[in-house]
Chains A and B, each alone.
Chain A
């Protein structure tokens, strides 16, 4: 009896360790499989678009299009990469999206910092207010915004479109940044202040660098939202078009090849910007900030 009583825990320990290892393995395999599903679900539509954009019609216009490309062609790209067609819209889209992101962060960051340092009650009220603005769909407010901007002579200008894009973007950017600044411990600021940094110095040298990941996320969001916008561009841009409008109009023409080619073209800068900003979006940037 006693032997058994003693041997039981000793025997259970390795089994328990084995079980835990097996569970970890199963979880890891499950995670990898799930990640693979997400990767495929994300990339497959892009691959289909790319395939259509470089395929000859006979590879696509059949009841069962093959997965591989048997008749590759750059004809659709050649037709689209026409400087007269592409240069203006690409310039407008890049300028407006970048301007919206820069302006959005410049305006929202100080406001968000102040909100994050407010008493809890005020803070939540203001955050709810910021979220409340997201309840209105762009199509619902685009017309009054357009009328106001037309009166101000801001139609057909990149600045006008940037400002219009800031209407829906700014509250969301501010909301993201409030969360970011809330995560920065006040002790860090106090320590910097004790070290002789003034208010502005503390903000510039300590708070903002620590908030860089959040700012990158906010800028990325603002850039993407502006880059993809169709609603405001339709109302405010009658001269040269933006790239999303071009994609929309080409898809309206009924040719899947033109649509796919423009859609791929529209996606490339998104991937570049996302990859460029991704290195700033690292988990655990703030961990250890108040250690040592």
Chain B
């Protein structure tokens, strides 16, 4: 049957109306978040591994929450991969049944958290109670008063919390966050290729240089990689080299910093050209497809490189030390409560549950997340144990990035100095003096 134009028009109008009515329906707000999740310095998939510090065995049964019950439901923002979300959901069931609080997990990437919460706050529609946020992206949350001052809740932080985590949660001696999970970069290497070149995984700067030279002579192109993508990835890389040389990133022109930049300038020609775009995600590919035989990344890379990409021949160790010893940036996630959170009591209850000994042990067992406390223990799959061992070793030498209000200026200065000195071979001391002066100005402007 042929439709007349009028009938066709009526049908189109009815269709459009139906579409609009369907569109007005509420999507599953706050419901279990869908897949995905961005890698944070503590997020993404970490490895598992044997036992953590201390002794004892986790019961696998998450602890019950303490504190006064908030009741109702808690909206918990966290960036997780599919399998991480499933595992955490299982763990949270224990909390829901014991505390009588329903937890709604909301997927929000760490890079989106600030803007999304800021929009909610400005609109006066804060519907998030608890946020797990990347350690390295906390400044704007405090600066823009997006999260609450939790100084009054310090008693909830377990006494066995890893010492290095404490400064991460504080700004100007005020506690704005609660510890949740630590993380640290480890070095991945192609065991067969290094052996074929007569090399062992480099443990010192000298060995790193030698490895770079040997591999470049053998392959005709640099085969080492550092995370050189502009922004946070490069900041972390530079920060670690500076600390390994005994420098102070906030000063940026002391002897240690100069030494670090001079070393990086020596190392740069031995790097694979792809290092310039290397960050947490691309590093996995660079290592997996043999573009580089050695490079550092966050432990979530273990599941991607070894498991998903099938490179069981890629091994890991804690990385190299500089003249001042080993140093790794402390990544991971902390917990914060947005200002105006509708269920603050419930959020604190959930935070306490997440920090509890049994929950930390369960997170280690199920997800391979290193615990934030020294008395939590768990087991991880056999194949992950050597990798987790590397994580544990690296965690012994972590440095928290200083929580100063002018950190973004410091980060920019480190990036710019890397470009000038390491890539464009300008003199280290003079260049660093210039950037140190810029940092001092930023410090004064911030009133710090």
Contact = CB atoms under 8 A, between A and B. Distances in A.
A99 B19 contact: yes
B309 A96 contact: no
B23 A157 contact: yes
Nearest to B6: A204
Interface stretch (B117-125, B364-372, B389-397, B406-414): B117-125
Contacts of A157: 23-27
B112 A234 contact: yes
Contacts of A249: 35-38, 107, 109
B123 A253 contact: no
Contacts of B31: 239-240
B81 A253 contact: yes
B135 interface: no
A102 interface: yes
Interface string B267-284: 000000000000011101
A253 B36 contact: yes
Contacts of A147: 119, 122-123
A176 B238 CA distance: 50
Given A103-B20, A155-B29, 17 more contacts: A57-B311, A62-B289, A63-B289, A88-B34, A159-B20, A204-B5, A235-B115, A235-B116, A238-B106, A239-B27, A239-B33, A241-B35, A249-B35, A252-B36, A252-B38, A254-B44, A255-B308
B34 A156 contact: no
B143 to A, nearest CB: 16
A109 B36 CA distance: 38
B28 interface: yes
A103 to B, nearest CB: 8
A207 interface: no
- 4 tightest CB-CB pairs across the interface, nearest first? A249-B36, A150-B123, A57-B310, A254-B281
A158 B116 contact: no
B291 interface: yes
Contacts of B29: 155-156, 238-239
Given A95-B19, A256-B285, A158 B311 contact: no
A156 B120 CA distance: 13
Contact of B27 (A57, A65, A153, A237): A237
B310 A58 contact: yes
Q: Name the interface size band of chain B.
A: 35 or more
Interface of A: 56-58, 60-63, 65, 85, 88-89, 92, 95-96, 98-99, 102-103, 106, 143, 146-148, 150-151, 153, 155-159, 162, 204-205, 234-235, 237-241, 245-246, 248-258
Given A157-B24, A158-B25, A235 B310 contact: no
Contact of A254 (B33, B124, B304): B304
Contact of B24 (A106, A159, A240): A159
Contact of A253 (B20, B37, B289, B311): B37
B74 to A, nearest CB: 15
A254 B39 contact: yes
B108 interface: yes
9 contacts: A146-B119, A150-B123, A157-B25, A159-B24, A234-B116, A240-B34, A249-B109, A252-B109, A257-B309
A151 B33 CA distance: 22
Contacts of A103: 16, 20
B90 interface: no
Interface centre among A56, A65, A148, A253 (most CB of B within 10 A): A253
Given A156-B27, A204-B9, A248 B36 contact: yes
A10 to B, nearest CB: 61
Interface of B: 5, 9, 16, 19-20, 22-31, 33-39, 44-45, 81-82, 106-109, 112, 115-116, 118-120, 122-125, 280-282, 284-285, 288-291, 300-301, 304, 308-311
Nearest to B27: A239
Contacts, number: 162
Nearest to B285: A256
Given A65-B289, A157-B26, A250 B119 contact: no
Nearest to B290: A63
A83 B295 CA distance: 37
Counting chain B CB atoms within 10 Å of each CB, which of A153, A159, A257 scores highest?
A159
Contacts of B284: 254-255
B301 A254 contact: yes
Contacts of B308: 57, 255, 257-258
Nearest to A250: B36
Given A63-B289, A63-B291, A255-B304, A158 B9 contact: no
A56 B311 CA distance: 12
Contacts of B38: 249, 252-253
Contacts of B44: 253-254
Contacts of B81: 253
Contact of A239 (B28, B280, B282, B285): B28
Given A147-B119, A234-B116, A241 B34 contact: yes
B27 A61 contact: no
Nearest to A159: B23
A36 to B, nearest CB: 30
A253 B309 contact: no
Contacts of B116: 234-235, 238
A246 B124 CA distance: 28
A89 B22 contact: no
Contacts of A241: 33-36, 107
B413 to A, nearest CB: 25
A62 B310 CA distance: 11
